[in-house]
Amino acid sequence: MSTYPISTLHEEAAGLYLEGVSLATLAEQYGTPTYVYSREALTVAFNAYQAALKGHRARIFYAVKSNSNLAVLNLFSRLGAGFDIVSGGELARVLAAGGDAGVVVFSGVGKSEAEMRQALRAGIRCFNVESAAELNRLAAIASDMGKIAPIALRVNPDVDPKTHPYISTGLRSNKFGVAFDEALTLYRRAATLPGLRISGIACHIGSQLLDPAPIAEAADKILGLVDQLAGEGIPLDHIDLGGGLGIRYKDETPPTPAEYLAPLLARFAGRSEEISLEPGRSLIGNAGLLLTRIEYLKPGSEKNFAVVDAAMNDLARPALYDAFHEVVTVSRSDTATQRYEIVGPICESGDFLAHDRELAAAPGDLLALLSAGAYGMTMSSNYNTRPRAAEVMVDGTRTWLIREREQIADLYRGEHMMNAD
């Protein structure tokens, strides 16, 4: 079994391989920086959820924001996933990838009128409504279109997920969801509004969760509210408990999907509502890596720097969250091991990918930043007019270019100069 976070990454005499493909060969064929994904790792992660949910009325909705490549979406669709979206653009991606709008849930605090109309025309499964103002807008738009919008209120259970504050979403101070003590009143109002059909309830407390206790606590609060609603004649068909299960980046020991879900499933014994889950990171995070090449080694009086061709525009998580990604050399090197700051060429002191890492490496060597399948490419940008990376899917010994590397001319194709003197 692989000692790396990515289960299908392994070392052979010629260097590192993902499934049956050499990373060095991938770099020669597709260049760097390049995101590389393992179809097998993605499939195994999804099947672990399916196995944990076997025998229960449940459905998995892949969180598109974690990685929205069309090939990734298509694979999850073929495995049987629905989709959790947070924008009209993500809905368009799901449909372009062959996904079914009927298994799409639309979350997010700022849905525009245009996005609501787009989703209603497509016939999505459910809107996860996050405010009274959004509820009113959706009712008015659905009525204007002669449609019925299926809804769930995203209820904020005020549970501390014990994760990074930027990815905590279920506390009273967060922007997400309807306050728990206001939810009952808002459900009563929703039941009176035209153009709406109450379908369920939703919550999501945060991401990179390593302990099932907070989500179990949230479920207890949500189920109590569900029973109160049923007593008032507002039965719900589904209960959406979000996603958030963490992965191993460094030395974390996250629970398996079965371990994470066990306390939740126990609480649903004897209940009729469908369980909805919205995993993202735990499905794709450890199915991908970022391949990059060392441009320069720059020794210094206090720190040594390995300057690589990837940067914070390619992988924003370290600069944004001070997130850790394991860094490994792709091929063995006879050079001496030293400690390096791994940095990119962007003109910002915050442009780093890793701090204080031991590497035996030389200019031109390849590095792999692991656990980069989630919130890597989807958070990338063109800062410093840098084209975004290519994306490649490995399937056994085959490789597929699933996103072409951007060209510089692509970056200003829609820009125009003024005609006036």
Q: Indicate which residues carry an active-site annotation.
A: 347
Query: CA–CA distance from 68 to each of 47, 136, 210 (Å)?
Result: 19, 30, 24
Amino acid letter, residue 187 = Y
Q: Where are the alpha helices (DSSP H) in 33-170?
A: 39-53, 70-79, 88-96, 113-122, 132-145
Which one, of 220, 141, 222, lies nearest residue 187 by Cα?
222
Give Dmax (Cα) for the chain.
75
DSSP 283: H
CB 358 within 8 A of CB 304: no
Residue 187 φ then ψ, to 5°: -65, -40
Determine the Cα–Cα distance for residues 87 and 106; give it in Å rounded to an integer. Answer: 7
Determine the Cα–Cα distance for residues 64 and 83; give it in Å rounded to an integer. Answer: 6
Residues 6+ apart with CB under 8 A from 113: 137, 141
CB 258 within 8 A of CB 221: no
Query: CA–CA distance from 11 to each of 1, 3, 44, 337, 395 (Å)?
Result: 11, 10, 20, 19, 17
Query: CA–CA distance from 166 to each of 58, 79, 124 (Å)?
Result: 29, 31, 29
% helix, strand, coil for the chain, step of 5:
30, 25, 40
